[in-house]
Amino acid sequence: MCNACGFPTRPGHWTDAGADNAGDRLRLQMRRAQILNRLLNSYGLSARPPGHGPGFALSSFTGRTALLPDLEAVWEEAARQIGAPIDPLAPRFTAAPAAPQ
Amino acid sequence: MTTQTDDGRLRLTILGGYLGSGKTTWLRHQLFEGHFPAAHILVNEAALTPVDDTLLAAQAASMTLLVGGCACCTGKEDLIAALRALCDTRSRQSAKARGSNHIILETSGLADPAAILTAIQSDGVLVHHIRAVQTIVLVDALHAVKQLHSEHLSRAQIEAADRIILTKVDTVTDPTLAAVKSTVKQLNPGAKIEAAAKGLAVCLPNLPEAKAYALPLLSDGTAPILPTRIEIPPDVDWATFSVWLSALLYARGDDLVRVKGVFDTPAGPLLLQAVRKSVQPPERLPTADHDHRNQIVFIGRGYESEDLRNSLAYFRGKSSATI
């Protein structure tokens, strides 16, 4: 565990699987942040790698930032800030003929 | 992440099934036949007066009894404490003194195996010491129809299973058995279905084609289960898929009874398995295994199959027409 930030507090989130070496892990983290932003930006939120370990830094449009250990925590925090969970099966995601790039 | 080799963790098999489905009879016979050699047996009974332990005592190598509360709800803390004690004892033993690394948990007839699985995986200690390998659920072929019609719990138990064993098959006619089998198959298309009579494994005969019983909507408003298989397009990488699936499980975990499949990642193919909101640590498969790669089965309710495909298409930033 990192003494400065306390992460990862609970190692072994299922999304941590799939990358064996540091390069793959970093690449996966960057790519996930990119995909998260495609969704979160429309809610006034943005995610980025925190720069010192696993997880994401989730910022609201006011600049308030939360450090989160994994994707599940990101969805939880987003739901808390927005007031409802971001549902991938909501009409805005399932009815769109083409997604914004 | 786990691999198929021995990672030092205890293997946990959950044995569930509705009240009177024959869990103890089946387990006793399995132990008698030597199927779970030297496994530690945990027996949970919701009632305060235990009975099952006396039946099992003769066959079990070691046993712990949890009474007076169902392990998925009121007795959850007792279960966690008992499992922690087992892990603690094992970690104090030398490698030579350690017996079997297998634990079998016989749940009470009122337990939802998925809730137990979630409790174990969300415990900070147990998640590192115990790996749930299989959920076996027994279904009483004689009474299944009545139970499935009225009890949400009996449906939930079947939905959470990896392996389903139809018991008391010698007491029902072939057409009834065929209909029960179709109904169970409809509830959980991903599970392996076997049969037993008085604990003894029975080969399922060539059953006539039978329609599944039309199960009514229960008062809690649960819609029928719908299996959907999605072929993941080659341009959907693990990063996209894991972001999408984690969002889906967070928002719709209670509706998604089961998610199962193999996904190619930079570290090799991963076997993904989820029961409701609880995802098992993905297991890495040998790279030579090319079967069913990048096919994920979703079994759930409350959505259309097409919604899943359209939503994944949105996440990858493409039109859904290509999925």
- Please give the ipTM for the structure prediction: 0.86
Looking up tokens 């979630």 gives: B118
Domain with CATH 3.40.50.300 in chain B: 10-202
Do A12 and B281 make contact, defined as CB atoms within 8 angstroms?
A: yes
> What is the chain B residue with the closest CA to A72?
B246
In this predicted structure, which of B155-169, B248-262, B276-290 has the lowest mean pLDDT? B276-290
B117: chain A residues, CB-CB within 8 Å: none
Nearest to B239 among A32, A76, A98 (CB): A32
Q: Is the pLDDT of residue B293 over 80?
A: no
Report pLDDT for B3: 45
CA distance A26 to chain B (A): 11
In sequence order, what are the residues at sequence separation of 6 or more whose Cβ sits closer than 8 angstroms to the Cβ of residue B105?
B12, B13, B14, B15, B42, B44, B71, B79, B116
Do B243 and A35 make contact, defined as CB atoms within 8 angstroms?
A: yes
B250: chain A residues, CB-CB within 8 Å: 72, 75-76, 79, 85-86
Looking up tokens 């980025």 gives: A48
Report pLDDT for A2: 56
In single-letter form, the type of residue at position B184 comes to V
Nearest to A99 among B1, B247, B318 (CB): B318
Confidence of residue B24 (pLDDT cuts 50, 70, 90): confident
In this predicted structure, which of A35-44, B12-21, B149-158 has the lowest mean pLDDT? B149-158
Do B319 and A98 make contact, defined as CB atoms within 8 angstroms?
A: yes
Contact between B308 and B147 (Cβ < 8 Å): no
In this predicted structure, which of A8-12, B231-235, B281-285, B301-305 has the lowest mean pLDDT? A8-12
Do B267 and A97 make contact, defined as CB atoms within 8 angstroms?
A: no
The phi, psi pair for B287, rounded to 5°, reads -65, -20
User: In A, what residues contact B, Cβ < 8 A?
Assistant: 10, 12, 14-20, 24, 27-28, 31-32, 35-36, 38-39, 71-72, 75-76, 79, 85-89, 93-101
* CA pair distance B27, B61, nearest whole angstrom: 13
pTM: 0.68
Do B315 and A15 make contact, defined as CB atoms within 8 angstroms?
A: no
The phi, psi pair for B127, rounded to 5°, reads -60, -25
Nearest to B194 by CA among B186, B203, B206, B207: B203
DSSP one-letter code for B188: -
Q: By the CB < 8 Å criterion, does B134 face chain A?
A: no
In sequence order, what are the residues at sequence separation of 6 or more whose Cβ sits closer than 8 angstroms to the Cβ of residue B126?
B80, B83, B84, B87, B120
User: What residues does A68 pair with on adjacent strands?
Assistant: A56
A32: chain B residues, CB-CB within 8 Å: 239, 242-243
A61: left (phi over 0), alpha (psi -120 to 50) or beta: alpha
Q: Is the pLDDT of residue B47 over 80?
A: no
Do B282 and A31 make contact, defined as CB atoms within 8 angstroms?
A: no
B128: chain A residues, CB-CB within 8 Å: 12
What is the homologous superfamily of the domain B226-322 according to CATH? CobW-like, C-terminal domain (3.30.1220.10)
Domain with CATH 3.30.1220.10 in chain B: 226-322
CA distance A45 to chain B (A): 15
B10-202 CATH: 3.40.50.300
Q: By the CB < 8 Å criterion, does B125 face chain A?
A: no
Higher pLDDT, B267 or A86: A86
pLDDT, one tens digit per residue, over B168-207 is: 888 888 888 999 999 898 888 888 999 998 888 888 877 7
Nearest to B237 by CA among A55, A52, A19, A56: A19
Grouping H, G, I as helix, E, B as strand and the rest as coil, residue B129 is helix
Q: How many C-beta atoms surround the C-beta of residue B228 within 10 A?
A: 16
Contact between B240 and B314 (Cβ < 8 Å): no
Sign of CA dihedral B117, B62, B166, B296: positive
Which ranges of chain B would DSSP assign to H, the alpha helix?
Answer: 23-32, 52-56, 76-92, 113-121, 126-129, 144-150, 152-159, 174-187, 238-252, 305-316
pLDDT, one tens digit per residue, over B69-107 is: 788 888 888 899 999 999 998 888 887 777 778 999 999
Report pLDDT for B271: 83
Q: Is the pLDDT of residue B49 over 70?
A: no
Mean pLDDT, chain A cut into blocks of 10 residues (101 residues total): 53 76 87 91 91 88 90 93 91 68 49
* CA pair distance B300, B311, nearest whole angstrom: 15
Q: How many C-beta atoms surround the C-beta of residue B32 within 10 A?
A: 11
Report pLDDT for B223: 66
Q: Is the pLDDT of residue B289 over 60?
A: no
> What is the chain A residue with the closest CA to B307?
A94
